Amino acid sequence: MEVLLFTIAILLALTGLAGCIIPGLPGPPLNFIAILLVQWAYQPFTASFLWIWAAVTLVVVILDYFLPIWVSKKFGATREGIIGSIVGLIAGMIFPPIGMIAGLIVGAILGDMVAGKSFQDAAKSGLGNAVGTLFSIGFKLIVSGMLTWYACSRIVMYYL
């Protein structure tokens, strides 16, 4: 039974890492589920450890939705610019990771220009959108990386 739980945990952890970059995949929650599967297999974690990481995962998920929008608004992005950045990010997935970042910025600039902003103002808000999104991705990668490390290290410790 442990082998099955560990295999699923590792697959979830790796998918969670990918989910930090690929829109639509919930990165940190998948990594937290991996931790729970390892816990179910042989209880290597304390209850306080699990509650703290549950809270951290929840905060990162909330930040993932609000941080890019908040930073974009601080840089003067319009609704059209934010929508353009999302479309650009998805279109840029053809050439990850550079295409995603470039698509995000170009989409935000084009969206803001459609909303009537000058190129300079649109470029400023496009940069803000990129900064907010990259910070959000960075937070997710840090949390998911740590959770993946905890899950994998406890699996290795189980077999030693």
CA dihedral 8, 10, 15, 21 (to 10 degrees): 160
99 Cβ contact list (under 8 Å, min separation 6):
91, 92, 93
- Cα-Cα-Cα-Cα torsion 73, 79, 80, 84, nearest 10 degrees, comes to 60
| pLDDT for residue 36 | 98
pLDDT at 21: 84
Beta strands in the chain (DSSP E): none
Three-state DSSP class for 78? coil
- Looking at residue 97, what is its pLDDT? 78
Distance of CA 36 to the CA centre of its chain: 20
pLDDT at 58: 97
The span from the CA of 10 to the CA of 66, in Å, is 29
Tell me which residue range forms the domain holding 94: 2-159
Mean pLDDT by 10 residues, the chain (160 residues): 95 96 89 98 96 98 89 88 89 86 92 93 89 90 98 94
What amino acid occupies position 23? P
How much is the pLDDT for 22? Answer: 82
- How many domains does the structure of the chain reveal? 1
